[in-house]
């Protein structure tokens, strides 16, 4: 079959694909353990999205499996080997800054706007329709194809890990959850909990009573709020005004019964590249760092301003590292919590290349900030760097498919993002974002080009047909 035939076949399913995708996008499937039950371990939203995706496949005649409402499988074909596709139905929280309702899909200027349109419901439905196309056209398949769907990719990977505990692991495969031409390498990922130790009390005219920011450990915080009690300094208004004039930043304040509350708005982004955002929390800490605060409050904002502000490569924390294959380490402080008699912490999301370990990162942060001032530990699970060599037949086949459909040269890539591709030894990420497309994953007003989704269907169908022979 020629490339043109693939594209023509993909165009035929455009209306149905969009209808099904909009059904999925209308579901707020962000992790919600505050409302978890035995039936819905990750909350009702992720389970509802999984059930909706499996219902689409069952409607179309595929064999489906629901694993404890945290993962699922759509199966086709027979053979000794298992070829895996890996998608996810969960999304990061919508967050502020949207021009439309994030869970009411809107078509505008050839784009489909909604949370999850790009990460990962749009690419997942494209891969699903590609699989359906291969089946409906009766193309030869000599392997078992397992389209595995997780519901916790944006957090702790509960779903995919539960699936692999109960079901067979694919021999090779790809995840439609990144960008073209291919992602065959992913940096290690770990979140470090930096907890501040109590400071000696001392009289102060101004006390930091609260500092909060962030939605998830893999999202650059778009907004941050601090409250201060006591005598508000006369020059604070001018400091706020000066910060408010910086590009991309909005600062507002309002008096409280015993002081002032300050809110700073920046720009959210995916933590894999902190430079794509404007970290509201570190900017707010920089604003407060020169005030005469109480000892604990001063220690907290000073550490953030001096060692985490506008330094996405970790130089100020002493954790910078570069590898010739995987590039630079990135560091993104994403969750902030402070109260005088409660938690005082920063969650630092780090994407690290080969040649450095989480233990080395902990040691470096501790040395920089001082063991007397902080304790540092990995929060959750650390994922080691992952790489599939460029001469692997999987990589070579996928790059050839990409080149034939786009006319553009293919090349290997290593990213700081984490995809399900890394869950197996011969796993990669493949699309659906084109190289010249704007990456708005984890940002307000997330969207996906509809034409690019249809092109992805054609590319994925060709790839599935070749790899499943």
Active site residues: 90, 153
Please state, in angstroms and rounded to a whole number, the distance separating the CA atoms of residues 308 and 154: 23
Please state, in angstroms and rounded to a whole number, the distance separating the CA atoms of residues 298 and 203: 13
Inter-axis angle of helices 121-136 and 3-12, nearest 10 = 110
Give the CA dihedral 204, 206, 207, 212, nearest 10 degrees.
-150
> What is the residue whose two structure tokens read 């630079």?
328
Please state, in angstroms and rounded to a whole number, the distance separating the CA atoms of residues 449 and 455: 10
Please state, in angstroms and rounded to a whole number, the distance separating the CA atoms of residues 149 and 177: 12
- Count other C-beta atoms under 10 Å from residue 424's C-beta: 20
Tokens coding 125? 């439905």
Strands ordered across the beta sheet of 447-449: 106-108, 111-113, 447-449
Inter-axis angle of helices 450-467 and 14-25, nearest 10 = 100
Among 447, 412, 465, residue whose Cα is nearest residue 180: 412
Bridge partners of residue 108, in order along the sequence:
111
Helix (H, G, I), strand (E, B) or coil at 226: strand
Among 32, 96, 31, 28, residue whose Cα is nearest residue 268: 96
Q: What is the end-to-end Cα distance of the chain in Å, rounded?
A: 14
395 touches 389 (CB < 8 A): yes
378 touches 348 (CB < 8 A): no
Among 372, 362, 299, residue whose Cα is nearest residue 331: 362
């Amino acid at each position: 079959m020629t490339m043109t035939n693939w594209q023509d076949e993909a165009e035929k399913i455009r209306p149905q694909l969009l209808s099904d995708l909009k059904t999925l996008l209308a579901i707020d499937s962000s992790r919600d353990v505050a409302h978890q039950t035995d039936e819905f371990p990750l909350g009702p939203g992720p389970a509802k999205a999984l059930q909706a995706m499996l219902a689409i496949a069952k409607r179309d005649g595929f064999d489906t499996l629901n694993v404890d409402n945290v993962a699922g499988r759509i199966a086709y074909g027979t053979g000794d080997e298992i070829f895996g596709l890996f998608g996810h139905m969960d999304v990061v929280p919508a967050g502020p800054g949207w021009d439309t309702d994030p869970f009411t899909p809107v078509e505008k200027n050839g784009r489909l706007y909604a949370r999850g349109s790009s990460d990962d419901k749009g690419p997942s439905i494209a891969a699903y329709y590609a699989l359906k196309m291969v089946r409906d056209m009766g193309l030869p398949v000599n392997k078992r194809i397992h389209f595995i769907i997780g519901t916790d990719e944006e957090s702790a990977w509960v779903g995919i890990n539960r699936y692999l505990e109960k079901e067979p692991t694919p021999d090779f495969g790809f995840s439609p959850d990144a960008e073209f031409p291919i992602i065959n390498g992913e940096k290690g990922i770990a979140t470090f909990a930096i907890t501040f130790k109590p400071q000696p009390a001392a009289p102060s005219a101004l006390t930091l009573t609260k500092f909060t920011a962030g939605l998830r450990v893999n999202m650059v915080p778009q907004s941050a709020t601090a409250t201060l009690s006591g005598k508000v300094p006369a020059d604070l208004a001018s400091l706020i005004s000066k910060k408010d004039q910086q590009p991309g930043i909005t600062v507002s304040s309002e008096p409280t019964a015993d002081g002032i509350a300050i809110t700073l708005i920046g720009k959210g982004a995916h933590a894999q590249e902190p430079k794509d955002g404007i970290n509201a929390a570190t900017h707010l800490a920089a604003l407060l760092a020169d005030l005469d605060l109480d000892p604990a409050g001063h220690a907290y904002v000073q550490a953030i301003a001096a060692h985490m502000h506008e330094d996405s490569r970790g130089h100020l924390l002493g954790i910078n590292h570069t590898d010739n294959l995987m590039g630079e380490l990135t560091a993104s402080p994403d969750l902030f919590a402070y109260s005088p008699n409660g938690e005082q912490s920063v969650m630092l999301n780090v994407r690290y290349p080969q040649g450095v370990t989480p233990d080395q990162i902990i040691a470096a942060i501790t040395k920089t900030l001082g063991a007397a001032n902080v304790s540092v530990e990995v929060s959750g699970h650390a994922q080691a760097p992952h790489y599939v060599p460029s001469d692997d037949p999987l990589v070579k086949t996928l790059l050839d498919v990409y080149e034939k459909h786009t006319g553009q040269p293919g090349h290997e890539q290593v990213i700081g993002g984490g995809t399900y591709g890394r869950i197996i030894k011969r796993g990669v990420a493949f699309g659906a974002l084109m190289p010249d497309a704007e990456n708005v994953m984890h940002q307000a007003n997330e969207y996906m080009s509809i034409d690019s989704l249809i092109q992805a269907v054609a590319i994925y169908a060709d790839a599935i047909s070749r790899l499943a022979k």
